[in-house]
Structure 1
Amino acid sequence: MQRGISGRFEPSVAHGLACPGFIPTPLPPIPGLEWSAPLQEKLDQAHLALGRLDSLTTLLPDAAMFLYSYVRKEAVLSSQIEGTQSSLADLLMFEEDAAPGVPIDDVTEVSCYVAALDHGIARLAQDFPLSSRLICELHEHLMQSGRGAGKAPGQYRRIQNWVGGPSPSTASLVPPPPQHIAQCIADLENFLNDVPQRHAPLVKAALSHVQFETIHPFLDGNGRVGRLLIPLVLLNEKVLQQPLLYLSLFFKVHRSRYYELLTRVRTHGDWEAWLDFFLDAVQLCATQAVDTARQINQLVSRDRLRIAALGRTAASATLVFEALAKRPVRSVHSICKETLQSPGTVNTALLRLESIGIVREMTGKRRGRVFGYSAYLDTLNRDALFDAPLATSG
C-alpha cells in the first residue's frame, strides 16, 4: 500500500549546510497494514520457520556450543556491512589472545558487537524492558573501544548527520534533527511495548528496525544497533528462547534491495513491500540456521566416532576435541586449562587430530599455537542458501 510520505521534514543544518531533516511518523502505520493473501502466507511460513529454529534449543545435544559460534558469525557479518574486514576466524583468534589477520580495530569492533548482544540478552533475562535506556546501553557496549570509543557511546547525537552521499544535499536520508531524537525514540519505545496496540512479534521486529534506521540517533553504530534489535525483539516476545535468528547475511547479499525498500517506506509509506522482504529474510535465515546446526551436529558426531578409533590416544584426543567442539578455535593454553591435561599431552593429541584432518594449526608459529576445527568453521561459513533470487508476494 502506498500511504504517501511517512513523516515530515524540518529545516536543519549539517556541516554548515542547510538541509531538511526527516522526522518519521510514530508507529504503527496509518492506515493499518494491508494483509494480502500472499503476504499473510509469508507471515505464516516465517512463523513456522521460527518454530523449527526455536526447537533447536531442545533438540541439539549442546545448543550452547552452536550458539557460541553462531552469535560470533552474526557479529562478523553485521560489522562487515559497516566496512570491517574481520572474518570469523579472526574474531575467534582474537578471543584466544592470538593475532588476527586484519587490523586490530576491525576485530575489536566485532568483539564489541558480541559484547553488546550479550548485554542485551542478559538485560532481557532480568526482565528489563526493551526501552530507550536499553538501546543506549547496547550502543555504549558496541562503541566501548576501538574506533567507536570517540563516538559518544550510549549518547544520542547532538549534531545533524546524514546517510549516503558525500554531503547532506546528495544524501539518501537526513534523519531527524537532534532536538527531535528523544521524542522519536520514546515513540518507538511505546510501539515496542504495545502502545497504543499490540502487534505480532515479527511485525514488531520488522517495523521497529526500519523506524530505528530512520531515526539514526547515534553518531555511529546505528546500523549495527538496528540489526541487534531484531533478535532482541523476538527474545523479548518469547518467540525464541535463544538469539538464533540473524538477518545480516541476507541484508548484505540483497543490500541494494534492502536500502531501496527502507527508502520506499519513507517516501511512499509502503510498509507491505518491506514486510514482504523481511519475511523472506526470516524464513530463509531461520531455515539456514536449522540446516547449519544439523550439519554441525552430524559433523561432530562423525568425528567423535573417528577419534574413538584412534586406539591408546583416543581418550586424550577426545578431551581435546570436545574443547574444540565448544569453541572451534583454541590455543594450546586454553585447551590445557579446560581439559586439565599437560601441554605435552594436548600437543600430542592435536598432532594426532591434525594427521586425520580434523584440526589445523592457524598461526604458522612454534610458540603460542592456535588450532581450528576446520570442517566446523567451513560449515559455519557456508552461505549457499542465498544464491537464489528473491521471491515476491506480488
Structure 2
Amino acid sequence: MLPPGWSSGAGAGAVVALLRDGRPRTRSELVALTGMSRSVVARRVDALLQAGWVTATGGSRSDGGRGPSRIAFDASTGAVLSVLLDTTSARLGVTDLSGRVLAERVVDLEGRDGPEEVLARVVALGRALLARSVGAGARLAGVGLGVPGPVERTTGRPLGPCPTPEWEGFDVAGRLRQDLGPVVAVDSAMNVAVLGERFTGFRGVENLVLVRVGDHIGCGIISGGVLWRGARGGAGDLGHVRVNGSDRVLCGCGSVGCLEAVAGGEAVAARLAARGHDVRTSRDVAALAREGDPDVLTELRVAGRHLGEALADVVGLLNPAVIVVGGALVDPALHLLAGVREVVYGRSSSLATRHLRIVPTGHSEGAGLVGAAVMVIEQLLDPGEVDRSLTWD
C-alpha cells in the first residue's frame, strides 16, 4: 500500500516511507507500484543509497544466475536514544530506526535532583549505552524523552513540577541538544507510552486509549490516528476525574474525590494496611495479588469498577476501538481488568461497545521506550525531511 498523499512526482523520502514496511523491492517493483518512470526511480534510489537510507540486497534465480538486487530500508543507519524519567528512576534504551530496542538500562535517581543534574547523568549514561550496544562510532539520530506530567509540545518544556519544582518551564530539549545533537523530542510519559503501545501492538488501530494504574493513574489517547494532547498538553488526566460518592476522600492534588485517590495504588495500599496488611505502594499490592490474597483481589476488583466508571465516559465521548490497561495493579489474574470490563460494558451504549476490546498491555515499560523513539523516527523519516537530507546532482 502506498503512503498517504502519494503521487508519481513524490520525492525520495516517499520511497523511504514505502520501504519502511520492511519488505525489500526491486527497482522494477518500485516502478510498477509507484507509477514513477524507470529513470526517476533510479535517481531516487541512487540518492538514497548514497545517503545510507536504503541498502541493496542481492537476489538469486532458480537457474543459478544472479537476480536483480532488492532495495530495503536500512534501519541501522542511525540509532535513537530513548529515555523515560520517573520521580525516582530513569529507564534508558537504544533503538534502531525501525523502533527495535537494542539495549536498555534502568537506574535510580535522587528524587531531590533538579534537571541539570538529572540530564547530565542521562547524557553520560546514554553515551555509554550507545557505545555498548551499537559501537562508539554509531550515528545518533536523535533523542526521545518522556517525563512525568504535561509538556509544552512546541518547546519541550515541562508544565508541572516533575519530578521537582525546578523542572517546570525548564528547557529540557535545549539542554539535551547541547550535548547530543539537533533532533530531540520531549513529551509526557503517558503520551510516549500510548505511541509505543500503538506502534508495537496496535499498528492499524486509529482510536486507542491506554490507561496505566500504579501509584498514580494516567491516560494516553490516540484519536483518528493522531496523538491527542489537548490545548496545553493536559489531555488524558484521568486520575483526577471525580468519582461519585467519594467527596470526603482527599487527593494529593488538593481536590477531593479524584479517581487516583480512590483507585490508585497508594489508595488501595492504604485501605489494605488499615486491615493489617504490610503494604505501602502499588508494587506491594501487586506482590500480594500474585500470592492470591483474597483481600487484595477484592480491592483490585473494586478499584477496577471505579476505573470503569471513568472509562465509560471516555468510551461515550471518544468511541475507541481498543482500551489497553497496564501498570503495577494489573495483576496476573486480571481482577482489576475484570472490574473495568464489568462497568464499561454495562454502562456504555451498545454501539460504542459492540466491537470494543479492553485488554491488558503486553509490553510493559518496553512500549514507552519504543514510543520515545517513535517521536524521533517519525520526525526524522518524514518524507520532506529525508528529501532535504539528500545531496542531488
Q: Indicate whether the TM-score tops 0.5.
A: no
| Higher relative strand content | 2
TM-score (norm 1): 0.28
TM-score (norm 2): 0.28
| Higher relative helix content | 1
- Bigger RCO (CA 8 Å, 6+ sep): 1
